[in-house]
Structure 1
Amino acid sequence: MKYLKLVFIVLMSISTVMSCASEPSDDDGLAPLNTAESYEELNISYGNDDEQVFDLYLPANRTTDTKTIVLVHGGGWTSGDKTEMNDFKNFIKDQMPSYAIVNINYRLADESNSPYPMQINDITRVINYLKNNEAHYTISNNLGFVGVSAGAHLSLLWSYGFDTENQVKMVCSIVGPTNLTDPAYLNNTNVVLQELLNTFGIDTSADFLEEISPYHRVTATSPPTILFYGGEDPLIPTTQGTAMRDKLESLNVTHQFTLYPNEGHGWTGLNLLDTTLKLKVFIETYL
């Protein structure tokens, strides 16, 4: 599957001319880190599985008001790695240096492990870990999510259905599935698309598909949402974006929607620049 690649060097060149999870162990009681200096730590464990790790990037001069952006990689729920979000991480560090960044891995689905609720539980564990260590890291509990493809689906689903403490202040979906009951999804003959749907297991009842669909979990109190989709995406029907846009509109949820008519499941060049500039403004406005 082709994923959105955010090439930082190219982007900068262009811009110059244009829960049910158990509580994870934590570091309660540790003294706060030096807030005058930036801090980075890779592969912080939040569970017993090797895939339950995240990378943490804290800015210098942070305070208890410092917000955190959570990055969630794609991969059809069965593959992928947090390193695929490193270009997003680099962009945020360079262009929005006052934010903390958490780049997560989560357990990948296979024949023995369904992605739901496993991956939602993993996100909950990460968020709980951050909350338990707010004083140590000197960060607030205000969060934003940026997800790509399956990671966008997970970001929307957690933000709409599992953020019981209203910590999420904005969420971004880049080519993310939103409604698994969409006829354009169910009737699509694309083999890869059907495999993505089938990954969720044998339960294809309407109730279950609605439970795992952000479109059916969004409410009038859901956080501001920004959406990006490609009109020629072979994996994600355009209606996954337009219907989500219309649902947000009907609920009066603050949102922004961009469709690139000639793009697929990812893009580069000027459209990528457009995406990052819009995302930057949205993050700075709502997070």
Structure 2
Amino acid sequence: MKPIKSLIILLLIAVTSYSCTSDSNSSENDFTDLEASVKFNVSYGDNEFQTYDLYLPENRDVDTKTLILVHGGGWTSGDKSDMDAFVELIQNDLPDVAILNMNYRLVDNATEAYPTQINDISSVVNHLNANLETYQISSDFGFIGTSAGAHLALLWSYAFNDLNQAKMVCSIVGPTNFTDPEYIEQIDSEELQALIELYGLDLTTTFLEQVSPYLQVTEDAPATILFYGGKDPLVPASQGSDLQDKLEALGVMHEYTLYPEEGHGWDGLELLDTWSKLKRFITENLD
């Protein structure tokens, strides 16, 4: 699910570039002056992949909200650096928001996708909660996820948001229902084999329902914004439209955008439209 990277890169090019001075020192106790500060590779667990980058805005206080970014990569690859363009966009257009850009453990012979990666999001949230006073931020946050990262963000927000801290979640071409026949029929043999290896041989099992955001969402879900491509070769449009219908039926605040001629990523006017809608949605639901 790597084409999403081109979307992020082009999105950065499409808006005014922004630069900031950052501090790469990983000490977590030097925020007393409340100047803008950046912490790279803060550990939230013992595994080398369990790190995040934290971007704290100047003049923050206990009401400052945080956006948690979750990268894609088919659950088996990718890195938080893939979301750096989103970091710059947020810093430029939403300068009062803190940003947490996370890595998580990737699937390999010794690591299962579920519940490992969901547990990593929970660990990040717990680590954030333990450091609210140090960081001088609110306990409220939102998610932006792309592709596989969007699936993880949705699933955590719908099934693991026990304290209702997640106030909004954005899915950009994220899978939502692994039992959807259209999803199984559309993905190619390589992607299907990867899915089988990740989630088991029986693609209609209760387990697949458990890891499908569409089948876990309730009326208590946070505000949700969805972006999908009508010609996506990896994630069919039904993954977004079906979730939209369910959110509508449950009365959950949501927005849905389908770009009929786009695939697993887009550019041009559609790209500008995505950021414009997402920026407004964040402002309205993470305030």
Q: Normalising by structure 1, what TM-score?
A: 0.91
**C-alpha offsets along residues 55-98 of structure 1, whole Å, 9 cap, x if unaligned?**
00000000100000000000000000000000001000000000
In structure 2, C-alpha distance between the alignment counterparts of 1:272 and 1:40, rounded to whole Å = 27
Which residue number corresponds to residue 103 of structure 1? 101
Which residue number corresponds to residue 21 of structure 2? none
In structure 2, C-alpha distance between the alignment counterparts of 1:31 and 1:197, rounded to whole Å = 42
| Aligned partners of 1:59 and 1:97 also within 8 Å | yes
User: What residue identity is the alignment partner of 1:98?
Assistant: D
| Aligned partners of 2:68 and 2:102 also within 8 Å | yes
Which residue number corresponds to residue 228 of structure 1? 227
Which residue number corresponds to residue 265 of structure 2? 266
Name segments (4+ residues, structure 1) moved above 4 Å. none
Which residue number corresponds to residue 187 of structure 1? 185
* TM superposition shift of 1:203: 5.4
In structure 1, C-alpha distance between the alignment counterparts of 2:273 and 2:92, rounded to whole Å = 17
**C-alpha offsets along residues 191-214 of structure 1, whole Å, 9 cap, x if unaligned?**
243134214232535210110000
User: What residue identity is the alignment partner of 1:143?
Assistant: F
| Aligned partners of 1:8 and 1:90 also within 8 Å | no
* TM superposition shift of 1:110: 1.3
Which residue number corresponds to residue 7 of structure 1? 10
Which residue number corresponds to residue 22 of structure 2? none
Gaps of 5+ in 2: 18-26
In structure 2, C-alpha distance between the alignment counterparts of 1:87 and 1:257, rounded to whole Å = 22
Matches within 5 A, 1:11-160: 11-12=14-15, 33-160=31-158
**C-alpha offsets along residues 118-174 of structure 1, whole Å, 9 cap, x if unaligned?**
000000000000000000000011010000000000000000000110000000000
**C-alpha offsets along residues 19-49 of structure 1, whole Å, 9 cap, x if unaligned?**
xxxxxxxx9xx86723530010100011111
Q: Normalising by structure 2, what TM-score?
A: 0.91
Q: Secondary structure of 2:227's partner?
A: strand
Give the direction of change, closer, same or farther, for the CA distance of 1:187–1:31 in structure 2 (3 Å limit).
closer
Matched, 1:206 2:174: no
| Aligned partners of 2:187 and 2:233 also within 8 Å | no
Gaps of 5+ in 1: 15-26
In structure 2, C-alpha distance between the alignment counterparts of 1:139 and 1:244, rounded to whole Å = 31
User: What residue identity is the alignment partner of 2:53?
Assistant: D
User: What residue identity is the alignment partner of 2:210?
Assistant: E
Equivalent pairs counted in the alignment come to: 273
User: What residue identity is the alignment partner of 2:93?
Assistant: Q
Give the direction of change, closer, same or farther, for the CA distance of 1:177–1:9 in structure 2 (3 Å limit).
closer
